Amino acid sequence: MSASLVDLAARLRALHLPGSPVVLPNAWDVASARRLAKGSAALATTSAGVANALGWPDGEAIPAVEMFTAVARIAAAVELPVTADLEAGYGLSPKELAARVVASGCVGLNLEDTDHARGKGVLVDASRQAERIAALKEAGRAEGVDLVVNARVDTFLGGGLTGAARIEETLRRGRLYLAAGADCIYPITAHEEGDIRAIVDGLGRAPVNVMALPVAPPLAKLAALGVARITFGSQLMRSALDEAERALQAYVAR
């Protein structure tokens, strides 16, 4: 096993400092990776962006081989740690998933707890997801790399809960995933200051990832709340496409 992947994984993990969040831009191809790598400490990928760029919708519709081929190209294009958004793992066993991540040159991954087989908004059993995370961590170490697992908690997307009940379920899942070895908890689309504070504090100020939605608090406020990681999902890709469309329309309107 190349020592460089070991070093890259350690570098990525060390960037997760509550109160001093690492900002990870999400790339969708080699060109975006090379551009977004400038001035960045690490890169993430976007599953929706990669899938859309290859003609697939988001939501595990893309064949795993296409996703891994794409993230491998991104990882090879930059000298930074790269963490891949791999949705719910494409039905792969923890051993196979870890092996493919390492083979791709990535040193971390998002793993979400949506049950795509059962439909949109359905979450997997939290205890079963925790077991999967623990097995994934063990499998990564067996491959020679302690993969940085960003455990996505999808309670703000599905599960049918709101208010305090949703926060409690987010915390229950987050605690289980941390106990299983997850390196960071990602309550995707949580953006209200009170919710973020409750999650960060409720998880003992363990590393928490917040999506940089336009309605979310600014970077300085997220740092003050104790957030450790900020990502963008597919927003940067969509912004790039919007700008390309605006440029085209401006030209033809001249």
Locate the domains of the chain by residue range: 3-252
pLDDT tens track for 113-125: 999 988 778 999 9
Position 117 scores a pLDDT of 84
- For residue 2, pLDDT beyond 60: no
Helix or strand (DSSP H, E) at 181: none
Position 166 scores a pLDDT of 98
Position 121 scores a pLDDT of 83
- For residue 1, pLDDT beyond 70: no
Edge-to-edge order in the sheet of strand 209-211: 22-24, 229-231, 209-211
- The whole-number average pLDDT for the span 226-230 is 98
pLDDT tens track for 94-118: 999 999 999 999 999 999 999 998 8
- CATH superfamily label, 3-252: Phosphoenolpyruvate-binding domains (3.20.20.60)
Identify residue 45 by its one-letter amino acid code: T
- The whole-number average pLDDT for the span 205-209 is 96
Write down the pTM of the prediction.
Answer: 0.96
Position 99 scores a pLDDT of 98
Which of 63, 3, 58 minimizes the C-alpha distance to 26?
58
- For residue 209, give the 3-state DSSP assignment: strand
Rounded Cα distance, 193 and 197, in Å: 6
Beta strands 82-85 and 108-112, pairing class: parallel
